Every structure is written in structure tokens, then in C-alpha cells.
A and B are shown apart, each in its own frame.
Chain A
């Protein structure tokens, strides 16, 4: 049964390879690619079922049977499978969109293999329990995404890709530095082994590890596009083809969020800080709590204000995703500050778990809603040739289904019941209220108002009113409308039947904070 852990990886890898030699048979290539996406969803569903129902929360796979701290270990726990589920749904939707949404020449040459290799990197990042292996999966994901961002290779695209690629190349070098340093100071690369070791180190000797972990954290923040590492986000998202932008905003960003949750809450939460700066008996998270809070506030403000001033739809969506990641980091900051002192177990129920749950629920909601919005933007751009607001207008009259889907996605990000976004927002506010933090509540409120402001602008300028000349003469491809509508329905369904998503996120949050369970599962050897 543990073999199931590698199933999604292998499916994505073999699909990438299978689509390579099929250039001359375009229909076959597209069919194989979409079929691979469906198979990936099935593999992830089987893995979710295995982890949630059959195993007691952990499935451990040791590559080549190398024993845990020495070989590379892949671990599927509740946190990993939740993120994998999001990745599977969004990537299948993006694949179906791509069939008509990407110019045929582009699809034939390189699109499908690159796309699936990106999925391979994403999957590996969610599953690995080895810090260096995480670096490798990041590189697999990034290499494909560099090419996908520059896919149209016009002036704007090359410039955006230049910034995106160079920033991330520097980020990779910094990540290697941090990993090398962590190996020299802790003597291991395995996350579970590292956590076990850090729990035993006296507080006076952890300072180097704190600095190295901060380097690692900066790289993850760069991937997640959190202020002050957000510079590449708007250009890259606007340059990328719509389905790729949907993947970048919906899933690749969440890889950064996942890495922050995994490393901070599972590994570094057990390490004690030297007494002094943050009082006696504090853990690393006492340091990261305020840092996360400042970054979250910055993201919400920069993203929100940036989005209000945009003149085009995809620019607005790109800035919006900076602000929305702020909403994901905000409850994480509260959770980090609420972690009890060194040596104490994090309670299974309480503010820490609730904060991470809020972040995970919000991540899933943002992943679905933002990819839906990018699909709508991509459908318009493919049909009209532009998504500037002065050329749009009246889409709701010309194509009510497409406009309605946009409306649902926007409302989900604003947080209107009964959509899934309502519960995301509600949990963020709940976490702020339970922590008694006026700052968190004020920032969340300001962010919510900004979200309402920019989506109102987008709706009234782009979708309402009499159709513009361009819109009146256009007809949107049916597959675009279908993908958008299916995602919109799924957002409604997730909101109405919110229970399972909450249970999954709650279990994911518990898995993230349960360092001992993780250590036992990984180092206890394979079952």
C-alpha cells in the first residue's frame, strides 16, 4: 500500500514522457495529456483514501529501500494529501482549458511535456521528507515554469521571464546555502531526523540553525510571493498563458505556503530559542510569528492597493493573488505566536491548529477561485485579444455563463456565504478574534474591503453594462465556458457542503503540528 505514495509522481512523469514523441499526432497528444491529468486525479484520490481511511494518517515510502535518515523518504500525511488534492483538481481543469486555450503550434512543440513536468515537481515538493530533495523538486517545478512563463516569448513575456527566472535562480542558490548549513549544524537532511535532533539541542546552541532556517524561509516566501518578495508576481502571471497562470497562482504559490507550514510548524517548532530576545523558553516560532505578521500585513496592503489601480483584468488578478496570500499568512502568524514554549507539546486542539486550518481552507479556496478567474480572463483574452478594461464591458449580457462563473469566483474571494470563501474569511476573522489581536482583525477587515473594491471595479468595468464592440462580435469557445462553470459549481458545492473540506484541513493542521507523530512515522521504518 505504501507504493501508492509514488503513484501520482509516476503518473505525471510518464504522461510527460508519453506526450513527447506524439508531436505529429496532435489529437492523440492532447488526449494522452488530458487522460494523464485524469489518471493523476485518480491516483491522488486513491492516495487520499489510503491515508485518511486505511492508514492511520501516514504513508511512508523509502526510495530504493534506503532506511529513513539516510535515504530519501516520501511521506503522505493529511497535510500533503490536502495540497495534492488541490493540485490535482486545478491541474486537470487547466489541462482541459489548454487544449483550446493554447495555440496549436505551441501545444505541439513543448507545452504538454513541460506542463506535466511542472506537475511532477509540485507533487514531489508536497511529498518529500528530505530538505535537499525538496530543493530538487523545486528546481524541477521551476525549470518547467520558467519556460511556461516565457511561452509566448514576446517582448513582455521575455522581460517578465527574465525577472522571474533570475530571482528564482538566486533563490535556489540561497536555498542551497541554507541546506548546506543545516546539514553541517544538524548532521541530517531528513526533516523528521532534523526535528528529533533539534528537540534535544540546548537553547544556547541553536542560533546558527535559526539564521539558516530564516534563509530557507525567505526562499519559500519568494516562491509564495509574499511581500517583500512579490516583485516577480504581477509580470510573470500576466506573461504566462492563462492555464499556466492559473496553475502558478492556484498551486505553485501553495507549494511555498506548504513548505512554510511544513518546515516551521513540523520541524522548527521544536527548536528552542536562546533566552533573551523573545523571553525565556521560547521556540523558533516566537521569532517567526511577528515576521509572518509583518509580511502578511504588507501583502494584504500591497496586493489590495495594487489591484485597485489596474487597467487590465489579468494584472488585477495577479495583484489580487499577492493580497490573498496575505490572508493565508495572517492566520499562520497568529498560529506561530500561539505555539507554547520549548519542550511543551502543541495541543491538538487550540489556536495553533485553528490558525493553520484557516490558512489551509483559505489556500484551497484561493486555489480554486483564483484559477477560475484566470480561466475567465484567459477565455476573454483568447477570444478578444485583450483583457484591458477599456475594451471589455457587457460580457454578462453576451455570455452569462462565463460572466456568472467570474462572479462566483469573485464572490468566493470576497467571502460571501454560502461559497467556500466565506468559511475561509470567517476562520481568519475567528482566529484573529480568539487571539484577541486588534491588528489582525483590522488588517483582515481592510483587506476584505480592498477585495470588494477591486472586484466591484472589475465587474462593473468589464462585465456589466452594454457590450463593447469587441465583446458584441465575439463568441467564446464552449470548452472555456465549461471549465469555468464546473469550477464555479465546485466552489458552490464546497461551500454548501463545507464539512469534509473543514475536516480535511483540520486533520492537515493537526498533522502539521504533530512533530512526534511525523518523526515516529518516518524514523519508525517502513511498515
Chain B
């Protein structure tokens, strides 16, 4: 198939497919709208875990939106026995490859966001965004050479994490147990 022919196939698909099944298109559009609404609602919560859920839902909704961009009603685009499928009746397979990539990336970022949430809980003793507040001035960057890095040992609920992103050198005593006062 020549590049120009392929190009016609790719550009022609979305319009053709959308003309075939108005009902499916409508349902998916409504579902997408709902997903984005739920995601936005969750992102605006104060609970960090809910925010992570919100971001996960928004990125999944984005993936679904991407699939619809290739035309959802067509058939499988296989070149069987030399017969070229009619460009008007196949789905565009490229967006599905894009979505696979996006899903893998989304998997990684969601996992990281959850780990980060756990670290925030350990450091601040809360996952309420409004209560994170400013940390005491002597912590943070200055703690690097602060003489108090061998501070009180961790006691209570926050389990000290020892193999996590190189934190062990500076924060011997995780603040997770200390219930950071926010004002």
C-alpha cells in the first residue's frame, strides 16, 4: 500500500465510523463526560488518596477518549490474503497502540503517586491536604547537615522505611510518628 493510500485510510476513518453508530458514540460520550466529572470532583478533595483516585480516573477517561478518536464501530484492520479491507469499515488501530503506551505510563505514575502519598503520611502524619502546612523551619533542605539528624527514634505507627529513595541518610527518625503540628 502506498503512503498516500494509507494516509487516506487513516484520515477517512473517524468520520466514516462515527456515521455508522450514533448510539454507541452517544453512550460513550456521556460516559466520558461522567468519568471526567467524577475525576475532577475527586481531584478537588482534601484527602490525598482521593486525589490520586481522581487522577487515575481522569487518565483512564483520557485513554477511553483516545480509543474513540480512532472510530469504535469498525472491524479489525487485517490485510487477509492480499485483500485490502475497505477503508470505510475498519477501525484505526494506531490509537489503540497509543492507548497501550499511555496505560503503561499511567500504571507507573499511579504507583508512584500512591508511594508518594504513603511517604507524605509518614512525614506529616496526615493525608489531609489542608493540614500538611509548612514544616518546622529547621527541617527540609537544611536538615542535610543539621546536627539533629540522629534525633529521637521512630516510635509508634510510622514504620521506618529503610530502602526508599535514599532517605535513610538524612532522616534517621521519620517524622511519621511525631504528628506534625500545623500551626
Contact = CB atoms under 8 A, between A and B. Distances in A.
Contacts of A104: 169
Nearest to A184: B69
Interface string B158-183: 00000111111111000100001000
A156 B175 CA distance: 11
Contact of B3 (A69, A110, A161, A239): A69
B143 to A, nearest CB: 6
Interface string B33-58: 00000000001000010010001001
B7 interface: yes
B63 to A, nearest CB: 8
Nearest to A146: B112
Contact of B119 (A109, A153, A169, A388): A153
Interface string B95-120: 10010011001001100110011011
Contacts of A188: 7, 10-11
Contacts of A490: none
Interface of A: 67, 69-70, 103-111, 132, 136, 139, 143, 146-147, 150-159, 161-162, 165-166, 169-170, 172-173, 176-177, 179-181, 183-184, 187-189, 238-239, 314, 381-388
13 contacts: A103-B166, A153-B164, A154-B175, A156-B134, A157-B140, A158-B119, A161-B116, A170-B55, A172-B59, A180-B62, A180-B69, A238-B140, A383-B145
A150 B116 contact: yes
Given A103-B144, A146-B112, A150-B116, A158 B169 contact: no
A385 B169 contact: no
Tell me if A's interface is mostly helix, strand, loop or mixed. Answer: helix
Contacts of B170: 103, 152, 154
Contact of B139 (A154, A177, A387): A154
Interface of B: 3, 6-7, 10-11, 14, 43, 48, 51, 55, 58-59, 62-63, 65-66, 69-70, 94-95, 98, 101-102, 105, 108-109, 112-113, 116-117, 119-120, 123-124, 132, 134-137, 139-146, 163-171, 175, 180
Contacts of B142: 381, 385-388
A314 B141 CA distance: 10
A522 B23 CA distance: 40
Contacts of A165: 109, 112-113, 116
B135 A155 contact: yes
Contacts of B164: 153
B168 to A, nearest CB: 6
B15 to A, nearest CB: 9
B165 A156 contact: no
A180 B6 contact: no
B55 A180 contact: no
Contacts of A385: 142-146
Contacts of B62: 173, 176-177, 180
A51 to B, nearest CB: 26
A187 B136 CA distance: 53
A188 B3 CA distance: 12
Contacts of B145: 382-385
A162 B3 contact: no
B140 A166 contact: no
A382 B94 CA distance: 50
Q: What are the 9 A-B residue pairs with the smallest beta carbon separation, nearest first?
A: A106-B166, A187-B11, A155-B135, A156-B140, A385-B145, A105-B169, A153-B167, A184-B69, A180-B66
Given A69-B3, A70-B3, A239 B169 contact: no
Contact of A156 (B98, B101, B105, B139): B139
Count chain A CB atoms within 10 A of each CB in B10, B164, B167 and give the residue with the most. B167
Contacts of B139: 154-156
Contact of A183 (B6, B95, B168): B95
A155 B180 contact: yes
